Amino acid sequence: MPAARISGVGMYVPPKVVRNDDLRAFYDTSDEWIYTRSGIKERRWAEEPASTAELGYYAAQEALQAAGKKAVDLDLIIFATLSPDLYFPGSGVLLQQKLGLETTPALDIRQQCSGFVYGLSIADQFIRTGMYRTILLVGAEVQSTWIDYAPEGRTVGVLFGDGAGAVVIEATEALGRGIRSSHLYSQGAYAMELCIAEPSSATRRHILPGSYGMRPYMNGKEVFRHAVQRMGEAIQVALSTQNWHPNEVDLYVLHQANIRIVQAVAEFFGLPMDKFFNNIHKYGNTTAASIPICLYEAQAEGRLKAGDKVILAAFGSGFTWGSVALIW
Ligand code: COA
C-alpha cells in the first residue's frame, strides 16, 4: 500500500500589509490590545480584484514547481476555504480552470480552520487505496471582504487575514516517509459559536449592492477554551497512535488562531515553544491557509528536514478539529 507524502509546498500572501495600528481607522482598538491577546502584529489584505481561487493559484504554482510536477500530472484538486469566490460553484473548479486543466476532479471542503488537516486526511485515503497518485491540496482565504468594519466588529475583525498555502501530495513506496495517521472530529452543537449566519439560504437575506451585509459572530472565550482542549486531545491521540513521546517530535505545526492557544497546548505537554512553528505575528489567522503557510516557511528556515517527525493540529468553526502525524 503506498503512503502519501508532501512533495512540494507553496504559499502566497497579498502584498498589502495591514498593521494593528492601521485598524484604528475602523475600530476602537490598539496594537497593545491585539498583540497581548493574540500575538498578531500585522496581516495581509488582498486588494480587488483578487479572489480566493487566484491566491490559491499562485500558491499552487509554487507547490507544483517545488514538487517538479506540472498541473497535468494532478489526479485530484482539493480546495479548502471558508471564503469561496462564489456561493456556488466552489473555488476548486475555478482553480482547475486557472491551471489550464480540462476534466481533473476538484473537491471543495468546508472545514474552516481545520480544512487543511481534513484535506490531508482525504488525500491520504485516496492515495492509500491506489485511486490517485498525485493530489494538489490548497488552503486559501480572502477574509478581508467578510470582516465587519463596523465598530462592533472589532473582536473578530482584528484576528483574520488573507493568504494561501498549497501542497502537492504524492504516492510513495519509500518506507518510513509520509502521512502516518490522521484523526478528525467535529461537534455541531457548537456551530453557532463561530459563524457567519447571514446571508444564508436559511434566512433568505441578500446582500444589497454596496453593503457588506456580513455579520461574523464569535464567542471568543468559548472558542479559546475548546481550541486548547481539543487540539491537546488530537495531538495526544496522534502521539499514542505513533507511540511517540512528545519530546521526540521534531516540529509541531498548529493552526495559527492565537499564540496564547499554542502556548497553552505547549504548556499542557510540558514542551518548549521552540518545538512549535509560529508566524501568526505576520499573517493573523489565515484559516485554511495557516498550516501550509507555516510548512512553507518552516521548510525555508531549515526547520523541516527529511525524516523529521511532525504533528499538525487544527481547531476551528464547526467546531471541527483534528491532527495529522507524518514523517517529513
Ligand atoms: N480592541 C480593543 N478591545 C477589544 C477588542 C479590540 N479589537 N475586541 C474586544 N475588545 C474588548 C471587549 O469589548 C471587552 O471589553 P469589556 O470587558 O469592556 O466588555 C474586552 O475587550 C474583552 O477582553 P478580554 O476578556 O481580555 O478578551 P479575551 O482575553 O477573551 O480575548 C480574544 C479576546 C478574541 C482575543 C480571545 O477570546 C480569543 O483569541 N479567542 C479565540 C479566538 C479564535 O481563536 N478564533 C478562531 C478560532 S479558529
Domain identity same for 306 and 280: yes
CB-CB contact of 258 with 155 (8 Å): no
Q: Which residue has the cell 519509500?
A: 174
263 lines ligand 1 (CB under 6 A): no
CATH classification of the domain holding 253: 3.40.47.10
Q: Which residue has the cell 491585539?
A: 34
Domain identity same for 192 and 314: yes
List the residue whose alpha carbon is closest to atom 1 of ligand 1. Answer: 29
Structural domain for 54, as ranges = 3-172
Q: What is the DSSP string of 87-108?
A: SSS-HHHHHHHHTT-SS--EEE
314 lines ligand 1 (CB under 6 A): no
Instruction: Provide the domain count of the chain.
Output: 2
What is the rounded distance in angstroms from the CA atom of residue 176 to the CA atom of residue 206? 51
Domain identity same for 193 and 165: no
Domain identity same for 133 and 193: no
Could you count the other beta carbons within 10 Å of the beta carbon of residue 155?
16
CB-CB contact of 227 with 159 (8 Å): no
Q: Active-site residue among 183, 226, 255, 294?
A: 255
Domain identity same for 163 and 14: yes
Mutate to test the pocket of ligand 1, among 224, 229, 262, 320 (most ligand atoms within 8 A of CB): 224
CB-CB contact of 277 with 253 (8 Å): yes
Q: What is the DSSP string of 204-244?
A: T--PPTT-----EEE-HHHHHHHHHHHHHHHHHHHHHHHT-
What is the rounded distance in angstroms from the CA atom of residue 324 to the CA atom of residue 125? 13
Question: With 70 as the cut, is the pLDDT of residue 205 above it?
Answer: no
Report pLDDT for 100: 98
Domain identity same for 53 and 129: yes
Question: With 60 as the cut, is the pLDDT of residue 212 above it?
Answer: no
| DSSP, res 28 | S
Domain identity same for 262 and 296: yes
List the residue whose alpha carbon is closest to atom 14 of ligand 1. Answer: 155
Which of 120, 146, 172 is the last residue before a domain boundary?
Answer: 172
Beta-strand pair 309-316/251-254:
parallel
Beta-strand pair 163-172/134-141:
antiparallel
What is the rounded distance in angstroms from the CA atom of residue 100 to the CA atom of residue 96? 7
Q: Active-site residue among 183, 278, 285, 294?
A: 285
230 lines ligand 1 (CB under 6 A): no
List the residue whose alpha carbon is closest to atom 37 of ligand 1. Answer: 220
Give tens-digit pLDDT for 32-91: 999 999 999 999 999 987 899 999 999 999 999 999 999 999 999 999 999 999 999 999
Strands (E), 173-317: 178-186, 194-196, 216-218, 251-254, 309-316
Domain identity same for 30 and 65: yes
Look at 96-100, 129-133, 204-208, 243-247 and tell me which has the smallest mean pLDDT. Answer: 204-208
The question of whether 113 is a catalytic residue gets the answer yes
Looking at the CA of residue 156, tell me the nearest atom of ligand 1: 34
DSSP bridge pairs for 218? 194
DSSP bridge pairs for 320? 186, 316
Mutate to test the pocket of ligand 1, among 155, 283, 290 (most ligand atoms within 8 A of CB): 155
Q: 210: pLDDT confidence band, cut at 50, 70 and 90?
A: low
Which of 172, 194, 228 is the last residue before a domain boundary?
Answer: 172
First to last CA, the chain: 18
Domain identity same for 162 and 183: no
The percent helix, strand, coil of the chain (3-state, each to 5) is 40, 25, 35
Domain identity same for 166 and 23: yes
What is the rounded distance in angstroms from the CA atom of residue 295 to the CA atom of residue 258? 17
Give tens-digit pLDDT for 82-130: 999 999 999 999 999 999 999 999 999 999 999 999 999 999 999 999 9
Question: With 60 as the cut, is the pLDDT of residue 208 above it?
Answer: no
Domain identity same for 283 and 315: yes
List the residue whose alpha carbon is closest to atom 33 of ligand 1. Answer: 220
The residues near 271 (Cβ < 8 Å, ≥ 6 apart) are 246, 247, 252
Q: 201: pLDDT confidence band, cut at 50, 70 and 90?
A: confident
The question of whether 285 is a catalytic residue gets the answer yes
What is the average per-residue pLDDT within 122-147? Answer: 97
Which of 150, 172, 194 is the last residue before a domain boundary?
Answer: 172
Q: 204: pLDDT confidence band, cut at 50, 70 and 90?
A: low
Domain identity same for 152 and 190: no
List the residue whose alpha carbon is closest to atom 12 of ligand 1. Answer: 155
